[in-house]
Structure 1
Amino acid sequence: MSAVFTTLDEQSITRRHRRVLWASGLGIFLDGYDLSIMAIALIVLKDQWHPSSAALGLLGTAALVGALVGGLLGGPIADRFGRKTIYLIDIAAFFFAALLSGFAWDIASLVAFRFLLGLGVGADYPLSSTYMAEFMPKDRRGAVMTWIFGLWMGGAVVSSLVGLALLHTGPDAWRWMLASGALPAILVLWMRRNLPESPRWYLRRGRVADAERVVAWLAPQLSAAERRAALEETAAAMEGARRHSWLDLFGKRYLKLTLYACIPWFMMDVMGYALAIFLPLMLLHLGLKTNEQAVIGNTLFSLAFVIGWIPLALLIDRIGRRRAQIIGFLGDALGLGLVGVLLVALGEPPFWAVATGLLLFQISNSFGPGTTTWIIPTELYPTELRASGHGFATAVSRLGAATSVFLLPTIQATLGEAGLLFLLAGAGGVGVVTTLWLGNEMARESLPESLARKAA
C-alpha cells in the first residue's frame, strides 16, 4: 500500500474534503428534488391532460429509463476517460432537460425531456459516489457518504415545499415545478467547475505528475520528495497489474460482488421509487381529501427520512453496511406489509394506522437500503472498475424503479392498494435474503488493498 494513500486514508476531514463532498453531493440533491417535484406535478398535470394509466406510467418512468442508460454509459466513460470528463456534462444535461420540461407541449415531448434529464442523473450517480469514495479517509468514508446522501432527501423536502408554494398558481403550475429544477443545477455547475481529478484514477493511468498535484492539494503536509517517491512506486506496481474491462464485472472474480451491488438496490428501488412517485396520489386514495393535504403528507413522509438517516450516519462505520441494510429491509417489509394487512382486514383503516406503517417503511429505508445500496458499490471494485460497477448497479436499480413505477398504476387498478403493498413488501424480503447471501463487509477498509484481497 502506498505511503501516500495510507496518509490520505488516515487523515482528518479538511475543508478540501468538504468541498469535494458538497460539490458531489449536490448532484444527489438534484435527483431527490426532481423525483419529488414530479410526484407533485403529476397531481396538477393529470387534471389538465387527463393521461391514461399507461401514459401516467410513462411520465413517471421516463427519467428512470434515462437514468438506466446514463448509468450504463457514465460509469465506463468515467473509468476510461476520468471522473471529471462528464462531471459537468451530466449536470448541464439535467439543467437543459429541466428547463425544457416546463415547455413540453404534449405527453410525448415531456417523456422525451424527462428521459434526457434521467441521462444526466444516471451518469452522475456513479460519478458522485466514486469521486467521493476515492477522496475520503477510510474510517470516515461510510459516515460522510451517509451524511451527504441525506441531501437526496433534502432535495425531496425542498421540492415538496416548492411544489406546495406553486400548487395554486394556475393550471400550468406543473410547468413551473418541473422547470424549477434548473436553478439548483446552476449552483452545482458552479461548484464543480474547478474540482481536481481523482488521484487514484491518475495513478491507474500512470500519470504520476498529475496525481502528485492532487495529493499536494489534498495533503499539503507531505513533502514533495515523499509524495513523488511513494507515487512512483505505486504507479509502477499498478502498471504491472492486469487491466480490467467492463465485462470483468460478470466474470468469476467479480460476479458475486456485482450481484451484491445490483439485486438489493433493484429491490430497494422497486419499493422506494413506486412510493416516491405516486405517494401523493395514494394518500388521496387512502383517506386524505385535498391536493394540499396530499402534498403536506408527502412532505412529512419525506422528513421522516431524518429519523433513520441520522442514526445510520452515526453507526454505519461501527455496525457496517451489510447489517444496516438487513435491518432496513426487514423494517421496509414489515411497514408495507402492515398497511396491506390493515387494508384487507378493515377495508378503510384509520389514516393514523396507515401512516404508522408508511413511516416504519420510510424510517427503516433511510436507516438501511435507501442509503447503503448507494454506498456499497463504490467499495467493491478496483479503481479501473469502480465507476463501471457502480454505473451498472445504478442501471439495474433504475430498471427496478422504472418497472415498478410503470406497472404501479395498472397493478393498483387490478389488485388494489393492499395487493400492491404486499408485492412491494415481498421485494423487501428478497432484499434481506440476498444481502445475507451475498453481503461483503467493507467498513473501515482501504479501497485499494481491501479490494485486491476481497475480490480474489
Structure 2
Amino acid sequence: MTAQTTRTQRLDRLPFTRQHGRLIVGSGVGWALDAMDVGLISFVMAALAVQWELEDTQLSLIGSIGFVGMALGASLGGLLADRIGRRNVFALTLLVYGLATGASALATSVAALVVLRLVVGLGLGAELPVASTLVSEYAPSRIRGRLVVVLEAFWAVGWLAAALIGYFVVSDTQDGWRWALALGAVPALYAIYVRRSLPESVRFLEARGRHAEAEQAVRRFEDSDPLFARTTAEPAAVPDAGASSAAVAGAAVAAPGGAAPRVAGPEAALPEAAAPEASPSPRGLSVIWGRALRTRTTGLWLVWFFLNFAYYGAFVWLPTLLVASGFDLVKSFEYTVIITAAQLPGYAAAAYLIERWGRRPTLASFLVGAAAASYLFAVASTPAGVITAGCLLSFFALGAWGALYAVTPEMYPTPVRGSGAGWAAGFGRIASILAPLAVPVLNRGGEIWLVFTAFAVAFLVAAGGALLLAERRGLALEE
C-alpha cells in the first residue's frame, strides 16, 4: 500500500495558479510599502540636513534608530510567526509601521522623530522574513526560488517610489518631507486587506492541528486556474486504494507554465488523520545552532550581516553623500532615482538565474558583482561615472537580496522556519544599525573612496558566507 499524498506534496505539484499570483502580489505590495518607508528616510535625512541644519551625528542617529527597531522586530516577528501564524504577523506589522510613519510627519524635534522611527523599525523588521516565509511555504518547489525573488523585486518598486516621492515631493517645498512621511501611512490601511484576503500557511495550520483549515487552503489553490498555457506535465501520483480523491487532487500538474488536468474528486476532503500530526519539538536558537544546522546558520548570518552593512550604509546615505560631494539637493535626488531604477533588472536576472544556476552560485556571484561595483563607485570622478557605478551597485546588490530571501526559508525545517529566518534577519539588522553610524566616520577619514571601499570588502565577506549555505534548488521544504 503506497503512502497517501500529503498536502505539502499536493501544493508542490501545482502549476502557477491565479491564487499564487494573488499571494505574490498581495505580499509584494506590502513589501513595496515597506521599502518605500525605508527609502523615504534617506531623502528626509538629506532635506533635514539643510532645513534643520543637523550634524552628521544627528543624521546618523535618525538613519540608524529605525534599524534598531528592525533588528528587534525581525527576531520577535519570526518567533510570533511560528506561534500565531504568518498572515497575522504580516498584517500586524503593516499596521504598526504605517501608523508610526504617519505620526512621524508631525515630528517637531529630532528626539520625537527618533522615537517614532524606532517604532517604525519594529514593524518593518518583523514583516520581511514573515512575508518571504509565507510565500515559500505555498510556492511549488521547482519554482520556489524564482517566486521569492519576484516577491523581493517589489522592494525595488517601493524604493523607486520613495525616490520619486523624494524628487517630486521632498525637494519641492519646505514641508515636503512631512508630506512624504504622511504618504507612508498607507500600509496601515493595507493591513486590513492582508488580514482578510491572504491565506495562512498550510504547514503552520497543520503544525497547530487545524487540519480542516489546512485542507480548505490547499483546495483553494487546487481549484484555481493556471495563469499560463499548459506545457509538459508531471506524472500523477498513484493513489492508495483507501485514499480519498481529494488527497490526489492536483497530482497531475504541469511544470512551470502549465498543468495537466487535475484528478477531480468529490467534495470529501482529506481526512484529518491522513495529515501528519504535530509533535512537540525544540525551537529557536538551540535548534538552528545545533549540529545539523550550524553550518547553514553561520553562512546565513554572515551574508545577512555584511549585506545589510554594505547595502544600507550605501543607500541610506547616498543622497546626502552626493550633496556633500558638490551636487545640489535636486540633482542628488535625480541621480538617486536613476540609480534606484537599476534595481529592477537586477531582480529579473536573479529570478532567472536562481533556478538555472542554483541559489548558492547566484547569491555568491551577485555579491562579488556588488563588491566590484562598490569599488568603481569609490573611484568614480565624473557624473557619468557616478551614475554607471551606482546603477551596477543597484543591479548586483538587489539581485543578491532577492537570492538571499529565496534561500533563507529553505535552510530550516517547518517548526523553526519563521524563527530561523527571523533570527538571521535580526542579526543582519545589527549591521544596518552600525552602517549609518560608520559612514560619517569613514567619510571624514577618506571621503567617498574609503566609504565605498569598505562596502566592497563587506560584500566579499558576504560572498564567502554564501558558500556555506546548502543548495536546495528544486527540493521540497524540510518538514
Q: Do they fold alike, i.e. is TM over 0.5?
A: yes
Q: How many residues align?
A: 438
Partner of 1:395: 426
Say if 2:305 is the partner of 1:266: yes
Q: CA RMSD in A?
A: 2.1
Bigger Cα displacement from structure 2, 165-174 vs 218-227:
218-227
Contact 1:146 1:313 (8 Å CA) reproduced: yes
CA 1:226/1:140 → structure 2, altered by over 3 Å: closer, same or farther? closer
1:71 pairs with 74, 95, 101, which one?
74
Q: 2:331 matched to 1:281? A: no
Give matches, 1:334-345, under 5 Å.
334-340=372-378, 342=379
For the structure 1 residues 43 and 243, does the alpha-carbon distance in structure 2 shift closer, same or farther, using more than 3 Å as the test?
A: closer
CA distance 1:300–1:231, change in 2 (3 Å)? farther
| Inter-CA distance 231–135: structure 2 relative to 1 (3 Å threshold) | farther
* More off after superposition, 128-137 vs 246-255: 246-255
Q: Which stretch shifts more, 354-363 or 438-447? A: 354-363
**What's the counterpart of residue 329 of structure 2?**
291
Equivalent in 384, 388, 400 of residue 356 of structure 1:
388
- In the alignment, which of 438, 443, 449 is matched to residue 473 of structure 2? 443
**1:194–1:223 distance in 2 versus 1, CA, 3 Å:** farther
**Is the contact between residue 87 and residue 127 of structure 1 (CA under 8 Å) also seen in structure 2?**
yes
Per-residue CA distance 1:203-244 (angstroms, 9 max, x = gap): 1222222211212222238944658557533323x43x7443
Q: Equivalents in 1 of 2:108, 2:118: separation in Å?
A: 15
- What CA distance in whole angstroms lies between the structure 2 residues aligned with 1:410 and 1:247? 37
User: In structure 2, what is the Cα distance between the partners aligned to 1:422 and 1:281?
Assistant: 18
Q: Which residue of 2 aligns with 1:454?
A: none
Matched, 1:194 2:197: yes
- Asked if the contact 1:76–1:387 (Cα under 8 Å) also holds between the matched residues in 2, the reply is yes
Is 1:83 paired with 2:86? yes
Q: Which residue of 1 aligns with 2:407?
A: 376
Provide the C-alpha distance between the structure 1 equivalents of 2:202 and 2:90, rounded to a whole number of angstroms: 16
The aligned amino acid for 2:359 is R
Q: Which amino acid aligns with 1:133?
A: S
1:213 matched to which residue of 2?
A: 216
CA contact (8 A) 2:284 2:420 kept: no
CA contact (8 A) 1:23 1:192 kept: no
Secondary structure of 1:50's counterpart equals coil
Amino acid of the structure 1 residue aligned with 2:443: Q
**Contact 1:132–1:145, Cα closer than 8 Å, also in 2:** yes
The answer (yes or no) to whether the contact 2:171–2:329 under 8 Å persists in 1 is no
> Aligned letter for 2:462?
G
Structure 2 residue 367 is the aligned partner of structure 1 residue 329: yes
Match of 1:235 in 2: 276
The unaligned stretches of length 5 or more in structure 1 are 344-348, 450-456
Q: What is the rounded CA distance, in whole Å, between the counterparts of 1:172 and 1:229 in structure 2?
A: 58
Report Cα offsets for 1:76-101 as digits up to 9, x if no partner. 11102222332221111011101110
- Give 2:116's aligned amino acid: F
Provide the rounded CA distance (Å) in 1 between the counterparts of 2:284 and 2:461.
30
* 1:256 counterpart letter in structure 2: T
* CA shift in 2, pair 1:91/1:162, >3 Å: same
- Paired letter, 1:366: L
CA shift digits 1:303-352 (9 cap, x unpaired):
01123221221221111111111111111111112333x36xxxxx2222
Aligned pairs (5 A) from 1:91-106: 91-106=94-109
CA distance in 1, matches of 2:461, 2:299: 12
Give ranges in structure 2 of 5+ residues lacking alignment. 225-243, 250-268
Q: How does 1:160-175 map to 2 (within 5 A)?
A: 160-175=163-178
Matches within 5 A, 1:11-30: 11-30=14-33
| TM-score normalised according to structure 2 size | 0.86
- 2:413 corresponds to which letter in structure 1? P
Q: Equivalent residue for 1:9?
A: 12
Distance 1:61 1:189, change over 3 A: farther
Q: Which amino acid aligns with 1:201?
A: F
In structure 1, the partner of 2:142 is: 139
Match of residue 346 from structure 1: none
Deviates more, 1:209-218 or 1:118-127: 209-218
- Which shows bigger deviation, 113-122 or 195-204? 195-204
Q: Greater helix percent: which structure?
A: 1
SS in 2 for 1:85: helix
8 Å contact 2:410–2:478 — kept in the other structure? Answer: no
Q: Distance in 2 between matches of 1:245 and 1:157?
A: 36
Whole-angstrom distance in 2 between the partners of 1:354 and 1:217: 49
Contact 1:35 1:276 in 2 (8 A): no
Q: Residues 226, 12 of structure 1: CA spacing in aligned structure 2 closer, same or farther, 3 A cutoff?
A: closer
Q: Per the alignment, in what secondary structure is the counterpart of residue 190 of structure 1? A: helix
For the 8 Å contact 2:95–2:191, the answer to whether it is kept is: no
Aligned amino acid, residue 44 of structure 2:
A
**Relative to structure 1, is the Cα distance of residues 231 and 20 closer, same or farther in structure 2, using a 3 angstrom cutoff?**
farther
Q: In terms of mean alpha carbon deviation, does 387-396 or 162-171 score higher? A: 162-171
